Structure 1
Amino acid sequence: MGTVLITGGHKGIGLEATRKILEQGGFDLIMAGRNRAEVDAVARDLASRYRTRIETVAIDIASLASVREAALAVRTMTREGVVAPLQVLMLNAGAQFMGAPQYTGDGLEKTFATNCLGHFLLLNLLLDDVQDRGRVVFTASGTHDPDTMDGRMVGKAAEPDATRLATDGKDGKALQWGVRYSTSKLCTILYAYELDRRLRARGSSVQSIALDPGLIVETGLSRSAPMIAQRLTRTSFAKWLFRMLGVTMGSLPFSGDALARVATDPAFADASGKYIQSNNGRLIEARSSAMSYDVGRARKLWADSDRLVGLNAQ
């Protein structure tokens, strides 16, 4: 038995994945989320329903200090035997922020901080605790690929320059919000592939996998959008239209199950360095964008992210 740590496991596809993992059994579970009261309430309900114990950790993934505190809490739980050793790290939480750039307390652009830098820091703080044959799963998105309708619909991903993305708008030149989001998801896949290369280079058996859950209109990902826009995208007509346009569609039940499978199913025990996609009711191995395979860009992104989160300053 090992422990699964999931960020954002109390809502959306994270919650669906959490339920699937609990149903199959065999793992301890730590749920990490920003609103501790909300996470605790969901954990209590799940613990009662599945007759198991669930630990929770408060984490604001956009705050570097909060990520460090959460990593310490997780490490303490595993090393003191509160839960089993860490086996799966699910980097799932994410958000879109529409309109002009917003900045975190660390002075970082909020989309990049939330979708990229927070998880990058959490990963690096906990990676040495992940057990042999463990997995790191990144929740990605097809929006990263400008050659697909997914990418064209949101906005063509920009150059994955961590320094530029972290300070977007501070020089008076801001990316469009959809471009910030799609680029953050490109960076997520670059992280996943670079982690795989680093793990293989040191002879590790830990797996690094990227999952695209497809467009799921029921989630709160676009919670910053006007309410009327959120409601319209959830209609049957909107779902039909997205499919007709060629958008890669997912659903809460299927994509949540897919996320759980990629994290724990033996069928994905050798899927490191791969891009798995929930594609209109099918779970397939797919090709990500051409830029996502650029090793030079990935290495630069990793090095710049390392500097931005202060890993070497520890």
Structure 2
Amino acid sequence: MSTILITGGHSGIGFECVKRLATQGIDLVLAGRNPAKLEAAASSIRSSAGVKVAAVELDVSSLGSVRTAAAQCRQMMERGAISRLQAILCNAGATFRGDPTYTGDAYELTFATNYLGHFLLIQLLLDSLKEDGRVVFTASGTHDPDTADGKFIGRAVRPDAFALAKTGLDGNKPLSGGTRYTTSKLCTVLHAYELHRRLRAAGLGISSIAYDPGAIAETGLLRDLPGPARAMIGSPPVRWLMRRMGLTLGDLVQSGHALAGLATAKNVGSGRYYQWKDGVLGERRSAAMSYDEELALALWRDSKKLVGVGSDEEPERLK
């Protein structure tokens, strides 16, 4: 029996993804910060699909919460409550407008939520994946500053993990909420590629993939907009205009199903970037900066320092 863990699997494209996975007989671990919503989603899937669904409280913006959730998952595997993981889907994410705000760890909230928490989660659970396991990161086309998507809310800047985590600044200039979001998603793609290189260097068959589901009015990038604005963006005329502008628009159900496909399909390549666009899931080129191996290496090393991963916590597979 296969088990897949997903962050943010109780709503949005994450919920559409897990409903799809459940129809394939896959057991699930739903991880999120709202226990009531998690259990409601888990109960719905259990009753409709008859698979095992565990709910684990996890706030990806909190390093302590990530550590507690990872330990809980390992304990469930040790006692046989869930099987070894077939995939980890790093799907949770959010935008935060206005001035930078900070977590209990004193890290900028956008960077912690969209990137740093998932970095730690993979460090802690990589050894719990099956030999042919998979890690899928929900990224965003906005990470590429050379595209219409990347210019839409604020161009991503060259990542410096300590600057992004500690100040939310680019030099002495505060980053806008849009740029904090797009830069955090650039970090996500860099992470996916660096993880792939490290897995292959260690001779492992685990895959690491980045995925852009497109902009969806009900989730992520657009969810925090006022209701009338979301309704307008969801209307056919506005969506047609946005496509003419070159923006990549997603679909709640189909983008969720595409994420499920990336978690299970056999014809998916590791170290690749996939995008759902115009009803088709396909491999695309990501931002030019995302292929900078020195930048990715620096981000990896600095991220380890920020999350406090020591040699005793580093995945045995990557040592």
Q: Shorter-chain-normalised TM-score: which range?
A: over 0.9
Contact 2:215/2:221, CA 8 A, preserved across alignment: no
Q: Measure the CA separation in 2 of the matches of 1:42 and 1:63.
A: 22
Q: TM-score, normalised by structure 2?
A: 0.94
1:238, CA displacement in angstroms?
Answer: 2.3
- Residue equivalent to 2:92: 93
Unaligned runs of 5+ in 2: 314-319
Q: Measure the CA separation in 2 of the matches of 1:222 and 1:103.
A: 21
Number of residues of Structure 1 aligned to a counterpart in Structure 2: 311
* Correspondent of 1:275 among 265, 273, 278: 273
Deviations 1:249-295 (A, max 9, x none): 21012111110000011222xx1000011011111111001100000
Contact 2:168/2:180, CA 8 A, preserved across alignment: no
Q: TM-score, normalised by structure 1?
A: 0.95
Q: Measure the CA separation in 2 of the matches of 1:266 and 1:244.
A: 33
Q: Measure the CA separation in 1 of the matches of 2:168 and 2:219.
A: 28
Paired letter, 1:44? S
Structure 1's 220 and 153: CA in aligned 2 closer, same or farther, altered over 3 A?
Answer: closer
1:107, CA displacement in angstroms?
Answer: 0.5
* Correspondent of 1:284 among 279, 282, 285: 282
Paired letter, 1:6? I
Contact 2:215/2:222, CA 8 A, preserved across alignment: no
1:167, CA displacement in angstroms?
Answer: 1.7
Structure 1's 292 and 33: CA in aligned 2 closer, same or farther, altered over 3 A?
Answer: same
- Residue equivalent to 2:160: 161
How is 1:54-203 mapped onto 2 (pairs within 5 angstroms)?
Answer: 54-169=53-168, 173-203=173-203
Q: Measure the CA separation in 2 of the matches of 1:220 and 1:109.
A: 18
Q: Measure the CA separation in 1 of the matches of 2:20 and 2:297.
A: 35
Structure 1's 284 and 135: CA in aligned 2 closer, same or farther, altered over 3 A?
Answer: same
Q: Measure the CA separation in 1 of the matches of 2:216 and 2:226.
A: 17
Deviations 1:139-169 (A, max 9, x none): 0110001111100112110111110100225
Unaligned runs of 5+ in 1: none
Overall identity of the aligned pairs, in %: 52
Q: Measure the CA separation in 2 of the matches of 1:134 and 1:164.
A: 33
Contact 1:98/1:225, CA 8 A, preserved across alignment: no
SS at structure 1 position matched to 2:173: coil
- Residue equivalent to 1:297: 295
Contact 2:216/2:222, CA 8 A, preserved across alignment: no
CA RMSD of aligned residues (A): 1.5
1:226, CA displacement in angstroms?
Answer: 3.5
- Residue equivalent to 1:14: 14
Q: Measure the CA separation in 2 of the matches of 1:229 and 1:307.
A: 40
1:303, CA displacement in angstroms?
Answer: 0.5
